[in-house]
Structure 1
Amino acid sequence: MAKDGDWDRRSLLRGAAVVAGAAATAPLLGSAISYADADADALFKAGQFEEAGRVYEEILKTDPANVHAARRRGYVALLSNRFPEAEKYLMMALELAPSDRETNQLLGDCYIRQDKFALSVPRWQATGKDVYAKWFGAVSGEPYQIHGDTAQLPWQQMDPFPLVEASVNGGPPKRFLPYTGAPSLGMSAEVAREAGLTAVTQQQIDYMGGTAWQYFGVLDFFKMGGIELRNIPVVWTETDTPEEARDGVIGTWVFYHFLTTFDYAGRSLILRRRTPETARKVRAAAVRAGAVPLPLWLAREQMLHSTGSIAGSGPQVLGLSIGGSSETAAIMPEETVKQLRIRTDYDRPLETFGHSHPQVVHPCYPKEIRLGDAAAEGIYSGMNAKMPVAPYGFDVPATLFHPFYKPYNITLDFTGMNVYIARGKAT
């Protein structure tokens, strides 16, 4: 783990099927937690975000100095990319407690999702993430400039992970892993050298029992089929050399600038410019294909969530780790398998690494995993006893991975904040 708490890109990919969360939320600050706070927190923890938001608003009417309620109310809005609303309440919390690390982190995330990098810099400084502050402060002009309307990138392979081709600073095609579990655009140190990248800052990170240096810079342009992105923050690590046929990773920060479809059944990644007309067409096509619009929530800069169920649990918040590499359809904490009585094979542990730390995963077999109308019965999954139940302040009983999505196409609408999953190829 990096000194400021960020995972390095390589170990994030290696651990994609092992752990699906970050650290639990920071200790609560501000006024003492009241009964009403506890009720709102219980709703939030259960994934009843809008209901929790309304209770937090009621708390603020009678206790306007309640930092916790203001921060959580802003967090509820940020989960759904409602930026003016998120800023209103997070700024309220910040005025009440300027040094509150959690508030500063949420507000920094709120700004980078809107490409307001300069506004995010003091927020990262306040959280102690000096690397982020220097990195985003080094991006001048408009970031993530989009040229072109649509890119359909054929997958060069399906397993052990999907790969697509893209060009870095006009160079020859390189093979990139699309993965929502990664935040930024990342690449190998060799590709970064070929592209002439210069680091604006760096940090030492834990790496597979040792340490390594991670570098941050700004890429001039990145071409993906019919789309070219310009002025993009990128990261590379000294240990990242091309291997396993992979030259880099495309993360969620790139995907949320587009209407993004992971077309597993059609073996392609489809990126469309986010315009009202394109959004209308994509949503209509998804509905015609039988996809029910599901809520999309974005937590901690890149982690996607929606509503699904596991082993007859009823509606729950599930993590969506799309792309990436995994042999298991889902990873879940031990509490999930115990509460839902999911058959787990404790006699066949898999000793591996997740985020550069030793992890042990046990095979488990939920009777059903469901996301909308997409379902898998008795599919091979994994239980990790070290996986936190509520990594972002709300319960996540399981996170879905690569094998679950294979019969389907999944469209991520970051404007309407919906997920559409339908069987077969995207149309």
Structure 2
Amino acid sequence: MSFGTGPHSLNRRAFLRTATLAVAAGTAASLWESTPSAASAVKDPDLLFKAGSFAAAERGYRHALHNDPGDVHALAQIGYIALLSNRFADAEKYLSKAIAARPDDVTSAQRLAECFVRQDRLPRATPLLRGTGRPRDTAFAELYSQVTGTPWRVRGARSTRVPFVTLDPVPAVEASVNGGRTRPFWLDTYATLDLSLEAAEDAGLRAVATVSGGVANNRPITIWLGVMDSFRIGDIEIRNIPVQWSDAKRPSLPDGTAAAGAFGTTLFYHFLTTMDYAGRALILRRGTAGPRRTRATDRLPLWLAGDHYPCTLGSLGDYGPRMVTIDTGGIGTGFDTTVEIAERAGLAVDYDRPLPQPAGKLYPVTADRIGLGGAIGHGIPGHAVDKVFPGLPGPGQSAQFGFDLIANFTHEFFKPFAVTFDYGAMHLSITTK
């Protein structure tokens, strides 16, 4: 869960007290495509998509279009699958056709806007967001309209390696805003680029719009949106960045220092990004040159749902590989799942020690073995919930994304590894040292 405070996120400590995850069980693309009997039994591309078998689902939707070129649902789904894989030309083509055929298709309009945002083509996203009638979209349309010139301009070195100032409760590095002093920022793949109110005020940021951020620590959160002139990380500077800030309470660093904010996937996808847990450093590379391979490197498919939710294939014991999310901001835990999925995977759920929850029950769970490809963790602590709580990492986001997820992999799992996110080739690489 993100240390940021976007409309899709809550404070991590609040998550540990209140979160429950939706019950779901997905089937990975590799399972469908390697099992002819299963593949032949399921002809419905919607079921294939729900199972995470995106390539097979796309073939089914394209077949439907061959039979009926006006099939709006097939157009929209092909566009969505393309967006999940950052195939921008196909995403734009098919989502545009879906909207032309059904102008009230708000979801496709939001996805097409996201297609342009990921490419830093903000003027193309703005009218789409204004047209949805949704308050959050309207606020971000106003933000994007205030960005003059090219956003996310990168200057400085071709690459930079910035040491973690702490590994726990989650990694943090130092960065500076608008030429000010360096301050610690949490790293979290479920974060966008989110500042504390103090850091935003010190940097002289001006709000151009506001949006509700939901509730954290039992109080509503207001998020201010603005444009940041400069963000420097190590030897790299990024200029002209849409940014958000709030007064949400965040965890302090181990020395009691207040973090200046958090950043994650919306910044990461502008680089070849490595979170090197084992080496305790963040590495940003311009371009798409792959990381230096050492021992036991595994390369997995990578998908991006929404604006900052990375997904890949993972296993709980022998259950999988199936679709999972990667939210690195989980304090004291290595994975999130549901009681139903934990039992199906043969994990040890500690029913004698439920964690305090205002609704439902959250149980400690230990996995003898979980893995992302050949990167295996043993004795990993996690949490399993017994009731549906849509929108939280892993299975709770199945309804939001439209495909089933069995778990969220997070902080404790990644500690022995270096994980690289390549949003050009759409691969996730995990390396042991």
Question: For 1:334-353, what aligned pairs fall within 5 Å after superposition?
Answer: 334-351=339-356
Q: 1:21 to 1:79 in 2, by over 3 A?
A: farther
How far, CA to CA, are the matches of 1:37 and 1:312 in structure 2?
Answer: 23
Note if 1:264 corresponds to 2:277. Answer: yes
The reply to whether residue 406 of structure 1 matches residue 407 of structure 2 is no
For the 8 Å contact 1:151–1:227, the answer to whether it is kept is yes
Pairwise CA distance, 1:384: 2.1
1:273 aligns with 2:286: yes
Contact 2:20 2:385 in 1 (8 A): no
On the 8 A contact 1:189/1:240 being kept in 2, the answer is no
> Once the 2 structures are TM-superposed, how far is the Cα of residue 124 of structure 1 from its aligned partner?
1.7
1:250-280 superposed Cα distances (whole Å, 9 cap, x missing partner):
12110000000000000000001115xxx14
Distance, in Å, in 2 between the alignment partners of 1:51 and 1:134 is: 38
| Alignment partner of 2:239 out of 222, 230, 249 | 230
The question of 1:383 aligning with 2:384 is answered yes
Q: Distance in 1 between matches of 2:301 and 2:332?
A: 26
Counterpart CA distance in 2 for 1:201 and 1:143 is: 18
Amino acid in the other structure paired with 1:332: T
**1:254 to 1:311, Cα distance in 2 relative to 1, 3 A:** same
**Aligned in 2, Cα 1:229/1:193: closer, same or farther, shift over 3 Å?**
same
Aligned residues: 397
Q: Percent identity?
A: 38
Q: Shift of the alpha carbon at 1:304?
A: 0.6
1:98 is aligned to 2:103: yes
Unaligned runs of 5+ in 1: 25-35
Report the secondary structure of 1:147's partner residue.
strand
1:332 and 1:387 in contact (8 A); partners too: no
For 1:222 and 1:168, the matched residues in 2 are separated by: 5
- Counterpart position of 1:120: 125
CA positional deviation for 1:147: 0.4
State the alpha-carbon separation in 1 of the partners of residues 16 and 150 from structure 2: 31
Which structure 2 segments of 5+ residues have no match? 25-40
Q: Does 1:143 align with 2:151?
A: yes
Whole-angstrom CA distance in 2 between matches of 1:241 and 1:81: 32
Deviation at 1:16?
7.8
Post-superposition offset of 1:311 = 1.9
**1:31 alignment partner in structure 2:** none
Distance 1:81 1:367 in 2: 34
RMSD of aligned residue pairs (Cα, Å): 2.6
- Offset of residue 241 of structure 1: 7.6
Partner of 1:33: none
Q: Counterpart in 2 of 1:298?
A: 304
**1:373 counterpart letter in structure 2:** G
Map 1:26-425; keep pairs closer than 5 Å. Answer: 39-127=44-132, 128=134, 129-148=137-156, 149-182=158-191, 184-207=192-215, 208-240=217-249, 243-244=252-253, 245=257, 246-275=259-288, 279-280=289-290, 282=291, 285-286=292-293, 288-322=294-328, 324-351=329-356, 360-385=361-386, 386-388=388-390, 389=395, 390-391=398-399, 392-424=401-433
Q: Decide whether aligned partners of structure 1 residues 198 and 13 sit closer, same or farther in structure 2, where only a CA change above 3 A counts.
A: farther
Deviation at 1:394, TM superposition (A): 0.9
Query: Against the structure 1 CA distance between its residues 380 and 53, is the aligned structure 2 distance closer, same or farther, given a 3 Å change threshold?
Result: same
